[in-house]
Amino acid sequence: MKSIPNYHSYFNSGERKGYSGVATFSKAKPKNQINGFNILKFDTEGRVQRSDFDDFILLNIYFPNGGMSDERLQYKLQFYDAFLTYTNNLRDEGNNLVICGDLNTAHKPIDIARPKENEKVSGFLPIEREWIDKFLSNGYVDTFRMFNDKSEQYTWWSYRTRARDRNVGWRLDYFFVNEEFKDNVIDSYMLSDVMGSDHCPIGLKIDL
């Protein structure tokens, strides 16, 4: 991982090289920068970064994939629950939150090209999707759906089947904010034409 000129660069690498990790690059220097939940079994995978700014806390999260085994699915669900506890505690302290990252779950049938074929596949399992419902019911907003209710809007496509050429994808990447902060959101969008990964970038514009 490399720093970018004119940006403050922060990294959180997992212990297993090439497996997981997150990086945050910011022109404005955060007041505070923290890696992890302070929960060892999650923090060893380098999935969490917190950056404190004047008006909000940015959480940069790489959520686990549950597809390799039932053990990893349980790990993913435990991570989800720990994350919700963490964000609710931050809100209870009076903070606004901007949450971004690869959730590794498509929320609704509109968020996946082939919902019927993937009902028993991790990333679209009912138990995973129900957790997103629970998360939103706790007072969080899926910002993309504030502006775009169309289907066939995806952020990930499998390399193995050249799925991007046919737009057979999943919407796995999200920007969330707490409900109290949603009026500050000006736009939330995808940059689906940007290549270089099996994911495309997503963007969020906020008014402070």
- How many angstroms separate the CA atoms of 105 and 157, rounded? 13
| Phi, psi for residue 85 in degrees, rounded to 5 | -60, -45
199 marked as part of a ligand binding site: yes
52 marked as part of a ligand binding site: no
**Which of the residues 75, 102, 140, 142 is marked catalytic?**
102
Contacts of 161 (CB under 8 A, 6+ apart): 168
Question: Which two three-digit tokens encode residue 143?
Answer: 């910002």
**Which of the residues 8, 187, 189, 199 is marked catalytic?**
199
In the DSSP assignment, the letter for residue 98 is E
Residue 100 in contact with residue 154, Cβ under 8 Å? no
107 marked as part of a ligand binding site: no
Task: Answer yes or no: 107 catalytic.
Answer: no
Task: Answer yes or no: 8 catalytic.
Answer: no
Task: Answer yes or no: 62 catalytic.
Answer: yes
Residue 168 in contact with residue 155, Cβ under 8 Å? no
Give the DSSP per-residue string, 27-57.
Answer: SSPPSEEEES-S-HHHHTTT-EEEEE-SS-E
198 marked as part of a ligand binding site: yes
SS3 88: helix
Please identify every residue annotated as catalytic.
62, 102, 199
Residue ranges at the known binding site for Mg(2+): 102, 104, 198-199
